[in-house]
Structure 1
């Protein structure tokens, strides 16, 4: 008998209630039955832990940029390469499947049953609000990637699950924003102790603002951003350290996936496959030349500005510091040696072994490999929403509303100043079109490799411009192993060829295995 891919049995929900940091590690979930589960607050909390398990993963977050022009996934079995180059099909086994109702079904089950638990009303309502948020988040992802998806807000029988139809995207999005508005009134602003990492009021409002921005509901996005701004978040002082394990749960983090080092099921082994073979990894994700070129010079000018001082033969000199914080490029000192993907015979030479085919490595989230005794099993939290995104959402929503007041400039200035970049030149960026260009570039470089670039391409409808043609990497040449001096003498390396069909590729295919089970689902255009 085929396993139903939507309906999740109660036993599955219970056995998956594993930990994400200590606050979810309450008790072994396989000790509970549905009859005994709701007898104590600790048991109900363990059931809620099952809802947290898998609501988002480091894998999906990091790999999403491979669907964009920011990075390239060289191994097809990682399931993002075909989505990135326009060759994905509904039957392709090497296409990521985020048509995932596991979290949604667990949350529905929890919400319907938790009233049985002998806990105070305030705690019960908070528990429900956390589950409602997690359910809304999964609907955000699925409606963003697939458009229409079944909107299921109750436990389903197997028969119901196999016949449920897709709900119009607009209705799903309204459900999401309504739910987030409601739970924001219930959730606390902060937690302490072992509860740090749970869903907060700020997370609900920030996700709501993201959805509203993506749906071009700019006035609502502005208002929700203002509410988040009033909650006490701020930019962390150091951009590089922001993504390091030693400084996680800082004031900039609004929502993240919490991981605990040395947990068997922490799903964070993905960090171990980012570096190239010279560092013991697989270079599964490779930043592109396009991303590198997006970073300004330290004087605030773009590299195509003749007055910028950019030198194509010394392309990494005097660049926005966020480049070195996010991308390992030729000649950069990284983990006690100068990275060299361009000298023939070097350990990290771009065309050999498990090395980066673009010559660039992801540094964000793994800035210092020596931090990790076992880089395959780290406890690095993966940030899903941070305050910088809220500032950029606010600025963009204002710009798209025709507003270019000081608050817009200030939001962008705060981000640039933290990075060590000059403030916005008001004489250059003095109109809506110029500011739009600036805020889009700021989103790209500030949030690079954090899984948001594809959504920006999708909503700005720029796929035919940025996701077609050749994917280039670094130029070839040599790197002096003693000094790191880069000498570029060759052409840019070629990593991939991409195509983009705007009538098809802004949405992902509904997986055929889902349609084999449920004949009512239909398919997105072009697949």
Structure 2
């Protein structure tokens, strides 16, 4: 797909969003129209490829963790700082407005027009199922972020777009789940050649299982997870290498966004490293995330006998910490990262440097993988098999069913990373297993854009997303050995507030409500 779909970017003028309110009533002047396409399989493929364009993006996936307690976004103009600290208002959502019907409108247009195309009917059904998935994914995001949203199952006119009301999230989610249930059997388990990256049966079932978990429909979630487990997915042997460009499209990846250098680039890798590496330090992991990683022996840092030392806080930790976050004193790109010493070019208080003194390593473990980190072909994973294993474990735990299959699922994720299996003498109740699986989700999926959804559905926002955001302790790093000498306090980065009666949903953008007076606002905004 990277070599095919992304090199045939359809005429986006034909398929623009209902958000462009004057578009729907005018004929395209510089693109295909219905009279000039739908004559061959190639036409249908080109139109479907247009539906894939911008259905999800590296920017949104990377920045979503800054809405949670995992990350701090230091540049407010990038659109996510105000969501993270609780100061967002309906009027300042433009930089991160995800109230978008662009992909939905494209998919509706495709589905309404593809049927007359002379082509193999089985393949046509697969094409339609791919479009239905992409539309369903958009509605999943919209309901997750905004709650009630307009449900448009067909293309809409400008007049309708300007007056349509919000549909209850329950009804929209039912539509999404029904769509995923219907299309899953029609989709291939896998693709070959240039079609790799298209929507698969596993992707449809996995999105369905994710939604069922989020909506606490645990029985259905368990059923779907078992179906996914039978499809042949595997955990990639190396956790760190899983996210490198030379290992993309491996057997752990269920769904990803495909990129191609120069033609359709992932242009945001450079936001993560700090200035001495040529980056911006835009997204900064928090001390709270660092503290979530267990010690190598499987004990938490606060647990008796863990061996944790406040003076050597990064020693003997879960290997996923080292694979996910560059901590002070860590060897990275040929030198020991030093963000806590005033003499360093990466000092936390310098321009384009992380304000927490931590930078992301996941996706950037080897910058030499890229000729230009602002123009890469690195795919961004949306769903992978490790999430399914943890989803299955959580659904079982919340159902009160803790059997060997639950431990096996969690153990598979842990041992792949180099961690010991779960101590069943300690984690032997629903409450303790709930704590464990929630911690596993946090550290395994860190920086992949899912933490906020977990905070949201567990209703822990007031506990984890309010108060002071901290960074690393200050001190010095020996440039020759990386030895840490910590003598200062933790960096205080930001104060956050969280209102549980408001902040679990985003505000409906005021720009949308100015156009459409029938759109109501979420409570508290």
What secondary structure is seen at the aligned counterpart in 2 of 1:91?
Answer: helix
Q: Cα 1:110–1:251, aligned 2, differ >3 Å: closer, same or farther?
A: same
Q: CA deviation at 1:306?
A: 2.3
- Residues 76 and 94 in structure 1, CA contact (< 8 A), matched pair in contact too: no
Q: CA deviation at 1:31?
A: 5.8
Deviation at 1:300, TM superposition (A): 0.1
Structure 1 residue aligned with 2:401: 403
**Which residue number corresponds to residue 382 of structure 2?**
384
Query: Normalising by structure 2, what TM-score?
Result: 0.95
SS at match of 1:496: strand
Q: Which runs of 5+ in 1 are unaligned?
A: 1-18
Cα shift readout 1:441-487 (whole Å, capped 9, x = no counterpart): 00000000000000000000000000000000000000011111111
Describe the superposition over 1:189-226 as per-residue Cα deviations: whole angstroms up to 9, x where unpaired: 00000000000000000000000000000000000000
User: Partners of 2:340 and 2:158 in 1: how far apart?
Assistant: 55
The answer to whether the 8 A contact 1:471-1:497 is kept is yes
Q: How far apart in 1 are the matches of 2:276 and 2:420?
A: 36
Match of 1:279 among 277, 295, 309: 277
1:310 corresponds in structure 2 to 308
Unaligned runs of 5+ in 2: 12-29
What TM-score comes out, normalization by structure 1 length?
0.95
Structure 1 residue 23 displacement after superposition: 3.6
**Structure 2: distance between partners of 1:520 and 1:321:** 51
The whole-number CA distance in structure 2 between the counterparts of 1:93 and 1:253 is 32
Partners of 1:416 and 1:492 in 2: how far apart? 29
Call closer, same or farther: CA 1:271–1:426 in 2, change over 3 Å.
Answer: same
1:99-125: CA deviation from partner (whole Å, max 9, x where unpaired): 010000000000000012111111111
How many residue pairs end up in the alignment? 507
Distance 1:242 1:431 in 2: 32
Q: 1:78 maps to what in 2?
A: 78
After TM superposition, give the deviation of residue 96 of structure 1 in Å: 1.4
Paired residue for 2:17?
Answer: none
Q: Quickly say closer, same or farther: Cα 1:124–1:24, change in 2 above 3 A.
A: farther
Moved over 6 A (4+): none
1:470 match: secondary structure? strand
- Residues 1:438 and 1:93: Cα distance change in structure 2 (over 3 Å): closer
Equivalent-residue separation in structure 2 for 1:512 and 1:449 (angstroms): 29
CA distance in structure 2 between the aligned counterparts of 1:221 and 1:82, rounded to whole angstroms: 33
1:257 aligns with 2:257: yes
Deviations along 1:231-269, one digit per CA (max 9) or x if unpaired, are: 000100000000000000000000000001122x43x21
Contact 1:25 1:46 in 2 (8 A): no
Q: CA deviation at 1:345?
A: 1.8
| Residue in 2 that maps onto 1:439 | 437
* Preserved contact between residue 276 and residue 354 of structure 1 (Cα < 8 Å): yes
Structure 1 residue aligned with 2:37: 37
Residue 160 (structure 1) shift: 0.8
- Are residue 99 (structure 1) and residue 99 (structure 2) matched? yes
Q: 2:146 — aligned with what? A: 146
Aligned partners of 1:24, 1:282: CA distance in 2, in Å? 27
User: What residue is the counterpart of 1:217 in the other structure?
Assistant: 217
Matched, 1:457 2:455: yes
Structure-to-structure mapping, 1:25-174, within 5 angstroms: 25-26=7-8, 29=11, 32-93=32-93, 96-174=96-174
Q: Please say if residues 6 and 258 of structure 2, whose CA atoms lie closer than 8 Å, have aligned partners that are also in contact.
A: no
Per mean C-alpha deviation after superposition, the further-off stretch among 199-208 and 40-49 is 40-49
For 1:379-409, what per-residue CA distance to the aligned partner results, in whole angstroms no more than 9, with x for missing partners?
A: 1100000000000000000000001100000
Alpha-carbon deviation of 1:28? 6.3
* 2:199 is the alignment partner of 1:203: no
Find the aligned partners of 2:178 and 2:445 in 1 and give their Cα distance. 27
Does the Cα contact within 8 Å between 1:24 and 1:46 map onto a contact in 2? no
Query: 1:471 maps to what in 2?
Result: 469
User: C-alpha offsets along residues 70-116 of structure 1, whole Å, 9 cap, x if unaligned?
Assistant: 00000001100000000000001565111010000000000000012
Report which stretch shifted further, 118-127 or 65-74.
118-127
Counterpart Cα distance in 1 of 2:481 and 2:135: 52
CA contact (8 A) 2:143 2:149 kept: yes
Equivalent residue number for residue 22 of structure 1: 4
CA distance in 1, matches of 2:71, 2:3: 30
The SS at the match of 2:503 is coil
Task: State how far apart, in whole Å, the 1-side matches of 2:219 and 2:95 are.
Answer: 36
Q: Displacement, 1:270?
A: 1.1
Change (3 A) 1:25 1:484: same
